[in-house]
Amino acid sequence: IFAETIVLKSGEVTEGRVLERTSRYIKVDFDGVPLIYFFDDIKTIDGEPVSVSKSNASTFSSSVKKDPTDIFSDIAPAVVYITCKKAMGGESSGSGFILTNSGVIATNYHVVVSNQEINVRLKDGTFYPVNSIIYYDVNRDLCLLKIEANGLPFVELGDSDNLKIGEKIYCIGSPLGLEYSLSDGLLSGVRDFQGVKYLQFTAPISGGSSGGPLIN
């Protein structure tokens, strides 16, 4: 019921109500957004050191297969087009996707950093100003935005530990401002760079795709 203090090995400190604990991670309620923290990245939880057990690692693999038209139909309504006005003049754009029906949006940190005004547009044309940035992680290039809305379509997050090299993947974004473009490719590698996991894939993307979802 009560918030717990989580200290990461990177030095970052966050507080949230723990929704779920497994042998590999905890799921934390951060302002209505379920965030997963892996024990490999955690130093302490409420002052208690964290030990990692890998004996119960999940081997789940979905048996549900969808074709690209199904995937686009399911996911595209929860993808947003982000436009930003810079403090020194000029505009930039990027992509994002909705995490909760109450308007929490995930994107890349570099899409919105150093901008004076941030707005999002949904696939149905609805326009929303961003009211606040509720979380960001520069090292992981992650940012969570909040708009004032309810009943929105949203994307359910998967578990990257269940991915397999060679899986078919898809991207939805706005490369070069071409909104709601779908591209596909393969998951070609899982890399570790300075303690951060990176997914290497072959789907073609361009500037403006940043922040869009990667889908399997």
Q: Could you confirm whether 51 is annotated as catalytic?
A: no
Is the CB of residue 145 less than 8 Å from the CB of residue 116? no
CA distance 102 to 106: 13
Residue tagged active-site, from 31, 92, 110, 188: 110
Residue tagged active-site, from 29, 74, 141, 184: 141
Q: Could you confirm whether 141 is annotated as catalytic?
A: yes
Q: Could you confirm whether 102 is annotated as catalytic?
A: no
CA distance 35 to 95: 20
In DSSP notation, the chain reads ---EEEEETTS-EEEEEEEEE-SSEEEEEETTEEEEEEGGGEEEETTEEP----TT-----------HHHHHHHHGGGEEEEEEEETTS-EEEEEEEE-STT-EEEE-HHHHTTEEEEEEE-TT--EEE--EEEEEETTTTEEEEE-S--S---PPP--GGG--TT-EEEEEE-GGG-TTEEEEEEEEEEEEETTEEEEEE-----TT-TTPPEE-
Residue tagged active-site, from 93, 95, 209, 210: 210
Q: Active-site positions?
A: 110, 141, 210
